[in-house]
Structure 1
Amino acid sequence: MQSWAHLFIEQVRATSLLEWLAVLLGVAEVLLARANKVWLYPIGIASTLISVYLLLNVHLFAESLLNVYYVVMSVYGWYHWVKKRGLTPVKVSFATRREWVITLLIVFAGWGILYWLLARFTPSTVPLWDAWVSSTAWAGMWLLARRKVENWLLLNVSNLFAVPLLFHKNLAMFAVLTVFLFVVAIFGYLDWRKIAKGGKA
């Protein structure tokens, strides 16, 4: 345990200013999202672009690609918010059997395809793990776009595996941010579950 604590302290000390900035912007994005403020989008885009650069530097290529997708979806979300804010949002609900089938296809087909691409065409040292973290996050984001309660479960599977992966790549503060996101996702799941059952969050 002491060696883990020592490793964590050493990694925090070695954290670059860019990583600190990305993490602080990431925390701000989550807090703005919870407060339902449109500023979550530009703040999130800035955080994600920095993250792409840092993840590429440590050869986490699938996570980099995932973050590019985050940027695209943030731009879309920002536009959607500004142009269609007055419209009734899609209701929160539980995933159907068909949606679960699609979700599992995204997870396992995505895992296999990403692993093959990373192992064959990149110098990644963790292709299997990187691919798994990204494929589960892609599935979670698909469910999130459809306002399904289970999106939080898939995102937390991704978060759970991402934490040790980020530590392994000496991105300690990214790992801490992911722990924070893990906790937020637990409360998100409980809130959305209550809403889907007809209650209020």
Structure 2
Amino acid sequence: MNTPQWFELLLSQLKQTSLLEWVAVVFGVIQVILAKANKVLLYPAGIIATIASAYVLFDIKLYAEALLNLYYLAMSIYGWSFWSKTKNKPEAPVTFTTRKEWHITLTIALLGWAALYLVLAYLTTSDVPVWDSFVSATAWAGMWLLARRKVENWILLNISNMFAVPLLFYKQLPLFAGLTIFLFIVAVAGYFYWKKIAVRNL
């Protein structure tokens, strides 16, 4: 497929994009910009984006991705609470991941990948169980680090993003694929910005 044909296909698919997909994408963009800026308001925006995304992804049989968004919802509620400053608790600082936290992160990613693959391969009609489960498992791990306000969350999230882009194009979701490319770029900037903050917090 040459470039004009690809662009024509993209425009055709964008015209067929549902309102719910647009809601998910717009609030997803708002969420990641606020996350990069280290603002707690990323979480209410994220809650709206994840609910809309879960419905869209389940409808096209990307079950692990849909489940991932429900996990995002839980992590958004947890992260909102963890980040929030109260009278008795100061705001959680941005820090680097400890060895113990890396062990937890890798456990989430590996066990999540294995468990999701088994569910998708044997209990659903998914045609991409390995791919879908890997994207979701690495994002699960990254979201846990984000909720804990760890610099390295951006690394895990971008591993997920790299594999998610072709998966979303394959599933004919160009708007979601475009959002994921945008998320990848912002995550690179977010990593370096958060790293500076974490160094100041040492």
2:16 counterpart residue number:
14
After TM superposition, the structure 1 stretch with the greater mean CA deviation from structure 2, 31-40 or 99-108, is 31-40
Shift of 1:35: 5.9
Q: 2: distance between equivalents of 1:33 and 1:148?
A: 12
Shift of 1:8: 2.3
Is contact 2:85–2:91 with CA below 8 Å preserved after alignment? no
Structure 1 residues 54, 117: CA separation in 2 closer, same or farther (over 3 Å shift)?
A: same
Q: 2: distance between equivalents of 1:40 and 1:103?
A: 22
1:73 counterpart residue number:
75
CA offsets 1:98-151 (integer angstroms, 9 cap, x no match): 322332222222111110111000001111011000100011112222222111
More contact order relative to length (CA 8 Å, sep ≥ 6) = 2
Q: Say yes or no: does 1:167 pair with 2:169.
A: yes
Q: 1: distance between equivalents of 2:43 and 2:104?
A: 28
**Alignment root-mean-square deviation, CA:** 2.5
Q: TM-score, normalised by structure 1?
A: 0.86
1:54 to 44, 53, 56: 56
Q: 1: distance between equivalents of 2:93 and 2:79?
A: 17
Q: Which residue identity is paired with 2:171?
A: K
Unaligned runs of 5+ in 2: none
Q: Say yes or no: does 1:134 pair with 2:136.
A: yes
Q: Which residue identity is paired with 1:75?
A: I
Shift of 1:63: 0.9
Q: How does 1:141-152 map to 2 (within 5 A)?
A: 141-152=143-154
Q: Which residue identity is paired with 2:189?
A: F
Q: Tell me how many residue pairs correspond in the alignment.
A: 200
Q: Say yes or no: does 1:63 pair with 2:65.
A: yes
Q: Percent identity at matched positions? A: 57
Q: 1: distance between equivalents of 2:82 and 2:97?
A: 23
Structure 1 residues 142, 77: CA separation in 2 closer, same or farther (over 3 Å shift)?
A: closer
Report the secondary structure of 1:18's partner residue: helix
2:127 to 125, 138, 163: 125
Q: Say yes or no: does 1:24 pair with 2:26.
A: yes
Q: 2: distance between equivalents of 1:115 and 1:193?
A: 33
